[in-house]
Amino acid sequence: MRLLPAPGGSGVVFRRTDLDNFEIPATGRNVAKVSYATSLMRQGVLISTTEHLLSALIGMGIDNVIVEVDNLEIPILDGSALPYVEAIQSVGIRPQRRRREYIRILTPVEVREGDKFIGVYPGSGYTIDYTIEFPAPIGRQSASIDLAAETYGALIAPARTFGYKADEQRLRDMGLIRGASEENAIVLGKQGPENGPLRFDDEYVRHKVLDLIGDLALAGHRIEGRVVAERAGHAMHTALVSRLMKDRAAWELARVPVDSPEEPRAAREAAHMRTPALQGV
């Protein structure tokens, strides 16, 4: 996989180099299927497991990039977004002249499914409150993050995906997690992780925040507002994107004024779109 600079206004575009450079924009209309990962499809061409890379791009403030990949799945690496963040940081990020556009939430948009819930509300910055509840040894965990604080690389990106050892064979029989191993996921036994210490005490919920950031990137722009999720997952994340895109009265496409004193400092600094000069990931 390679990440290449793209012109202002391009957004994130996946390019299948093994299929005559066929392109799939990272937008909600191209969501194909969602179970244990988020996949995109256009005209029968698939890109799978997009959420970790998209999360890293949003977390690093990157709006425009071409993602070249020679197969149908984005590399899982260590199961987190940290390798992507480190690779981007190693080559730098370039400002672009065109001002950043973002989705400013005007009225609440919610999705409910039994005791599961996700909603987005008006607010300054981009804040996320996420609560999960899983069988032991995870239990109930909650986390809050403000992406405007520019702490994504330290507090969210390192959080790895996870799974229960007891579910492994069933999922493999379904054709899922075929590439899963102790090198790219937290493997949970009855007593806890079987492959080393956690990076955070609440690494599980932090990874769900990571996933959510990546899935909401499919709205096509960074969100200005507050997101609240309770026991949600990929399917509900992308359902929120779909509902948000259909409810055009719930949001507006806004540009950050470069020198407006009314805008928060972080928003002013993000006024110019940024793109990575990144290759060889």
Q: For the chain, what is the radius of gyration of the CA atoms?
A: 18
Q: What is the DSSP track for 164-209?
A: EGGGHHHHHHTT--TT--TTSSEEEETTEESSS--SSTTHHHHHHH
Phi-psi region of 149 (alpha: psi -120 to 50; beta: other; left: phi over 0): alpha
Catalytic residue among 221, 234, 237, 272: 234
Under 8 Å between Cβ of 73 and 48: yes
User: Could you give the CA distance from residue 96 to residue 74 in angstroms, rounded to a whole number?
Assistant: 26
User: Could you give the CA distance from residue 268 to residue 103 in angstroms, rounded to a whole number?
Assistant: 15
225 forms beta bridges with: 126
Per-residue pLDDT, 261: 37
User: Could you give the CA distance from residue 142 to residue 136 in angstroms, rounded to a whole number?
Assistant: 15
Beta strands 93-99; 272-276: pairing state: antiparallel
Under 8 Å between Cβ of 88 and 62: yes
Q: How far is CA 5 from CA 46, 102, 211, 217, 232, in A?
A: 22, 20, 24, 18, 33
User: Could you give the CA distance from residue 124 to residue 153 in angstroms, rounded to a whole number?
Assistant: 21
Q: What is the DSSP track for 250-278?
A: GEEEEE--SS-TTS-HHHHHTSEEEEE--
89 forms beta bridges with: none
> Mean pLDDT per 10-residue run, the chain (281 residues)?
95 98 97 85 95 97 96 95 97 91 97 96 96 95 91 96 83 68 90 92 98 97 96 96 96 73 35 41 41
**Is 234 tagged catalytic?**
yes
Per-residue pLDDT, 226: 98
Per-residue pLDDT, 160: 97
Per-residue pLDDT, 37: 87
- Coil/strand/helix, residue 238: helix
